[in-house]
Copies of this chain bind each other. A is one copy, B any other.
Amino acid sequence: MEKIRVGILGYGNLGRGVEMAITQNPDMELVGVFTRRNPEDLQIATEGVPVRSAADLDAGVDGIDVLILCGGSATDLPKMTPAYAGKYNVVDSFDNHANIPAHFAAVDAAAGEGGKLALISCGWDPGLFSLNRMMGNCFLPDGTDYTFWGKGVSQGHSDAIRRIPGVADAKQYTIPVDAAIEAVRAGEDPELTTRQKHLRECWVVLEEGADADAVREAIVTMPNYFEPYDTTVNFISQEELDRDHAAMPHGGFVMRSGKSACGNRFLIEYALKLDSNPQFTALVLVAYARAVARLAQEGQKGARTVFDVAPGYLSPRTADDLRSNFL
């Protein structure tokens, strides 16, 4: 069987994760890394794969079955995905939940017009967590949803701290509150406030001469980001931050607690524990890229989400094989 030819646009943590994930999927091959930087400045891990300018993609590149878009959700993907969905089958990890309907509409129009297939908002949240939230509601119509995140690094919250005057660098961990998770597991259907669900733990490097108390106060009182939470602030050196907080772990729990019409209780729990958030997201993107390549080959076009993909398409195995070995 011919391999699925994958292109990567964007070579940050996620792009490098996708490159690595492809090496674990022998039915797929990396055919090009595209960058908006100077291609000559980029050293990629895979030998023999060309690094090319994103401008080449605009002009049109042959031989790409799926292009995985590894840009950020804030400014890159809202333009990037509609721009490329008309020319290539694409997968993105757009994660701005509130803007998903608008993003979907823009991508659907572009992909439909170009006769291509586009899967948006793939990864673990949105993505696998979304699937479990949605399916939990189908199996337990009378129930309550809970999503807990962490322990993990929140890029957005870390950035928010770094923007405070006097802060040289920072990492922020989102931590689910054990007592809340245990109450859900115990079938108590708790109504949980924001503060009862997650803690925020900050590791901050001060600029020379900065006022630690003022920085701490600026963090813990920051509306939306930190004020609604119990937040701890720890000051450390840049060396300590680099040594102890360089990893990007994440994860969390999706829980659906519900009952049958006669009152029997059920709990569905889906949990992820990830040493590296971008590397796991990349592994999910690559499995869905396989599905996109296969569905496109069947003639599907337009935008899709994880809700639209039959799970069997994610696997390199045949349907017979899946029924014999996994059902």
How does the 8 Å CB contact mask read for A121-147 relative to B, with 1 for contact and 0 for none?
Answer: 100001010110111011111100000
In the complex, A265 has a CB within 8 A of chain B: yes
A313 to chain B, nearest CB (A): 9
Known: A140-B283, A305-B323, A307-B327. 7 other contacts (CB 8 A): A24-B141, A104-B323, A130-B327, A139-B287, A139-B314, A260-B279, A268-B271
Interface of A is mostly: helix
Report B-chain residues with C-beta under 8 Å of the C-beta of A42.
none
Interface of chain A residues 98 through 122 with chain B (CB within 8 A)? 100-101, 104, 121
Known: A139-B287, A260-B276, A306-B311. A323 touches B100 (CB 8 A): yes
Report B-chain residues with C-beta under 8 Å of the C-beta of A133.
326
Tally A residues with Cβ within 8 Å of B.
Answer: 64
Q: Which 10 A-B pairs have the closest CB atoms?
A: A307-B312, A264-B275, A134-B326, A264-B276, A138-B314, A267-B273, A138-B287, A20-B261, A260-B279, A269-B271
Report B-chain residues with C-beta under 8 Å of the C-beta of A17.
260
Q: Check if B25 sits within 8 Å of A100, measured CB to CB.
A: no
Q: Check if A137 sits within 8 Å of B315, measured CB to CB.
A: yes
The answer for the CA separation of A324 and B315 in the assembled complex, in Å, is 27
The answer for the CA separation of A315 and B326 in the assembled complex, in Å, is 24
Known: A97-B327, A141-B24, A326-B130. A274 touches B266 (CB 8 A): yes
A44 to chain B, nearest CB (A): 14
In the complex, A319 has a CB within 8 A of chain B: yes
Contact of A270 among B137, B139, B269 (CB under 8 A): B269
Interface pairs (16), CB distance under 8 Å: A24-B261, A100-B323, A100-B327, A134-B315, A135-B287, A138-B287, A138-B314, A139-B284, A264-B274, A264-B276, A269-B269, A306-B311, A307-B310, A307-B312, A307-B322, A308-B312
How does the 8 Å CB contact mask read for A1-45 relative to B, with 1 for contact and 0 for none?
Answer: 000000000000000010011011100000000000000000000
The answer for the CA separation of A64 and B60 in the assembled complex, in Å, is 51
The answer for the CA separation of A287 and B75 in the assembled complex, in Å, is 38
How does the 8 Å CB contact mask read for A233-265 relative to B, with 1 for contact and 0 for none?
Answer: 000000000000000000000000000111011
In the complex, A173 has a CB within 8 A of chain B: no
The answer for the CA separation of A190 and B266 in the assembled complex, in Å, is 29
